Structure 1
Amino acid sequence: MFAPLIVLIRKYFGQKKLNQVRGQLIALHIQTMTRFCDRFGIERTTRQHLIRMARDNGKRLGLLA
């Protein structure tokens, strides 16, 4: 779904910059998920499952193209 957009961004910025931005966005997303889980008392194992699910969904949507 998003793969063509990611490919265009990679061509424009280059692989190195894309990886930097992608890493920053992933870290921000994980921090947000962790804060959410901490706020609502969700267990660590459930949080880890949510992080894995987000990664797998990103692959399916083409965000990790």
Structure 2
Amino acid sequence: MAASACATGLRGSLVSSFHGTWGTSMMGEDYPALIQSVPRYVRVGPPVRSPPCMKNVNEGKGIFAPAVVVTRNIIGKKRFNQLRGKAIALHSQVITEFCKAIGADGKQRQGLIRLAKKNGERLGFLA
């Protein structure tokens, strides 16, 4: 008898104030007010990304920039980029051979290649 009284008392204290169904609690009277309180500028979906900008910050600067721009205009952008790619590849090979000759490791070689790129930008070769 005492066990049933405890169970009944316990059950009585666990009664919630929830009256209704899940539908009325989720879509009840406050739902329209909640929807109107959300700002309209919130975008739902994946963020919009702008395309990456691959422009050279030193464009038009450097002692060789005018010659590079004139050459690009004369032979065309496509052909110019092909020649530039070949020149960069040859220069990287020269740096690699130099590193082999002096016994420099790959990390030092990469550092020299980065330095060559920075110098090329400053001088206007990458205009």
Measured on the aligned residues, the alpha-carbon RMSD in Å equals 0.5
* Aligned match of 1:13: 75
TM-score, L = length of structure 2: 0.50
In 1, Cα distance between the equivalents of 2:113 and 2:98?
12
Q: State whether structure 2 residue 96 is matched by structure 1 residue 34.
A: yes
Number of corresponding residues:
65
Match of 1:63 in 2: 125
Deviations 1:30-60 (A, max 9, x none): 0010011011101110110000000000001
Q: Secondary structure at the residue paired with 1:17? A: helix
Structure 1 spans left out of the alignment, 5+ residues: none
**Largest Rg, 1 or 2:** 2
The sequence identity of aligned pairs, in percent, is: 51
Higher RCO (C-alpha 8 Å, min separation 6)? 1
The answer as to 2:86 corresponding to 1:24 is: yes
Larger helix fraction of residues: 1
Following TM superposition, the consecutive aligned residue runs of length 4 or more in structure 1 with deviations greater than 6 angstroms are none
Q: TM-score, normalised by structure 1?
A: 0.97
Distance (Å, rounded) in 2 between the aligned partners of 1:10 and 1:39? 35
